[in-house]
Amino acid sequence: MYQYLITEPKNHTLVIILNRPKVLNALKRDMIEELKDAITKFIAVPDLRGAVIIGSGDKAFAAGADISEFKDLESVEAAAASGKLGQDVFQLIEDAPKPIIAAVNGFALGGGCELSMACHMRIASENAKFGQPEVKLGLIAGYGGTQRLTQHIGRAKATELLLTADMINAEEALRLGLVNYVVPLSKLTEKCLEVLRKIYDQSPLAVALTLDAIGAGVKGEDGYLRERNNFGKALISEDGKEGTTAFLEKRKPNFTGK
């Protein structure tokens, strides 16, 4: 269906594979457009309750944007529009009402690091490396890296990485709070699915409302207001009534996502 992606739906989960292994899954504009289509369809399918994004092969999640496309950008406006495409698609991922996990199986650099940071969680293989090396090319991050890296690891360390182009390994990323887990490469997909299965036991509506409240605060909106309003929505929902009733009756709830 796609030229640069492979999508594999299975057991409520959509696995999206970035499929340009010969160039370490570098992100072409067309590939980002395909990612937009895949995520939009994923959101619209009720039976798909979570997604995993992973790179093809065992060397890279995505080693950045496809630099060869930059030669066609000959104005500030054209370059900014290119950045906006990446920002818009990555925001779509961050705003998804279902959990999306980045399975970082190697290099996540530049646009690849930015894509991983747009996901709700990151699980890294032991060989993973993260970085925003754009300054080496006389450029800066353009798909949200200056904002999300600061949000994830704090201003001081994010500034250092953005200005020095240094890479960090998986263990350092874990220490800084950039990733949730570090596992052997052979266990990477299974660890992502393990986390998602725990989420699938919860109310789909409560999961969506929680992601929405988190996102509001990250975007500078009144996160406390969103949280209490979403709490109200959850409390009077069918899932809220089922969950509280099941707790009092000491049984497992049967959530429907309503």
* Whether 25 contacts 62, CB under 8 Å: yes
Rounded-to-integer distance, Cα 5 and Cα 181, Å: 25
What's the rounded Cα separation, in Å, for the pair 50 and 55?
Answer: 17
Whether the Cβ atoms of residue 55 and residue 18 lie closer than 8 Å to each other: yes
* Residues ≥6 apart with Cβ < 8 Å to 196: 12, 13, 49, 50, 52, 99, 101
Side chain identity at residue 107, one-letter code:
F
Residue 44 CB contacts under 8 Å (≥ 6 apart), including other chains: none
Extract the tokens encoding 100: 């999306």
Q: Is the dihedral of CA 138, 145, 165, 154 positive or negative?
A: positive
Residues 6+ apart with CB under 8 A from 124: 104, 130, 170, 173, 174, 179, 181, 182, 183, 188
CA–CA separation, 229 and 221 (whole Å): 13
Q: What is the distance between the alpha carbons of residues 129 and 144, in angstroms, rounded to a whole number?
A: 18
Active-site positions read: 114, 134
